[in-house]
Structure 1
């Protein structure tokens, strides 16, 4: 369903003991022209032009108890039953313009603080094509990342620098050299390693890129490295310029902590692929009655022009269900507006190894993805090269619809991975 040309639509899960229609109307007023009472300057003409509207209210099963406390309801001595509904609001584009922080403040903002509700979650968003085109597009996305890595078919196989922190710039470069020789497509810094004293970013970039360039000259193969440049916006610009000078292809940022404006400024300052790490998203999403769903979350960040989005991994070490991970990957692969190709590359990680490949392929049905294994590569009993081969062998098996254990009879690296990691999962 596409949004109208003049409005942005947003879907919410709302929980309240009050009349659903009145609460939905309060939401629309709070996030556009109104407040808790009508004021003198809020004319009928102004309301018709600028007020958000309630498009749909779909009542759902009630909640057995309040999901969140509300001092306002307690003061009113209002208790359950607690009704739930999916509410769709439409916000006039003219209220917002091409202003990403204000868009986020409009579709979310004070809604989470409304006293009338005991649950509030932004589920999904739809933007009109003309509005989407006013924002930055991915510089590379899926197709561009394939060009940069030289991986035209199948998944892009990646890994993460481990240990997360502690390695010097020289030690990191030596590990990158080993991983390049192992046949990896993509290497990234960990999100907690940006510019530490033991491995300053400028030293790390230069040391790592010497090895990446040398490997490229020896083998003809390109390896993409996502350097974690998370910092203030001026520092991120400088770091990106250094990576570009050193012939790198990609930088990474912890988007939740940098903020929309900083990521937009970074996108406009660099031609490099922008790898969006979502660490911290769990605090916004784990409670089913609070926060933001991934479809809405990734919509906002895609308007900032990122190229890759983390979706976690199937059967991984984090809390998200496989269904949520799969749906997140499909969201990344869905254009935000009809007729545009602004897809971003879903990046799978968190406890991934050869054994999680079949579930990933079955769930996503595509190899337009980045499959990253940290321990699954670096902890393989026969070394990182065997770890990379085990993951590729697992993808061969999945794409040919062959059970892993059958394929492993002729793939010793996969056989070793199944024996070693299978005991730990």
Structure 2
């Protein structure tokens, strides 16, 4: 069990207390954490470029137009033609990018000891995800192209509404029908821990009739929890790694954070943020895609924006837009996460538990980035930011705050 050393050093100093935590991650462990996270910066770029290359190949060799031509021979109904085209586009794209998916999702994760599944189990989950995409993507694309045909100038606005509708349906149904495909969810057993979580929730009028534990240990060792669902399906879930690898103070700190997301209505904030970015991206796409099609459409076999064969063109435009908007998206989500951190500290009153969790997340998040680096690439506050927030809360809210020096090696505890 994790033990902490309390240092009797007189007056509590926030920076000294923060440094005591940060200095527990040194040498090869810090270098490995930094290398993994910094490599992710390049994955953002290369992942987008891989997608753009695949879409360009589908256009350059008229594969998209050939698929649409086949679909038109199957049916004269526009929505069926679009759905068939989107189905084939999704399947071909997944097959062509499979080497990239294997590298980023399996090989690289194994290299950094962040994945416990063997290849068969990992591939099985990828297959489930692909099967869902082959159902959902054609539905979304068919709906958006129906809007394009009916409102060729303002389709970007109506298309945003379509995406929003599908997001809301997914949020309601996800915890019930999608999440259980990948993990088993069971009620957190009764006992002192559940009693303490429920007491924190009751104090802030947060419903806690259902607290779920899911078996993520079969996939990896990462600790996590989340708020998911909407309306009758909303729930707070924590994974078994959090229960097995951390102490009660850390669990309460994490659950306080997740309760913050619920209490501060962050689900709606994040939906609004994402829809705003999609709206702007679709607007830009609605202006750029017609220009590209007028110039290259004959060469690609694409007639107009409303032609389902234009799907790779729209995907290129939207993909590049979302890459450019990554810093804005990260900053907006990071703001919500920071608010939840502050709420969680007030609710759970476990600043050292919060600091320890922040340090544990250094397994896959760079602990101490520069200010610009954090703004551009972090969708959560960095570990250093979170530890400092916890120590500042401790100084401001506890009558006699004590300096706590984590026992050497606690980050390796299971």
TM-score, with structure 2 as normaliser: 0.26
More helix by percentage? 2
| Larger RCO, structures 1/2 (Cα 8 Å, 6+ apart) | 2
More strand by percentage? 1
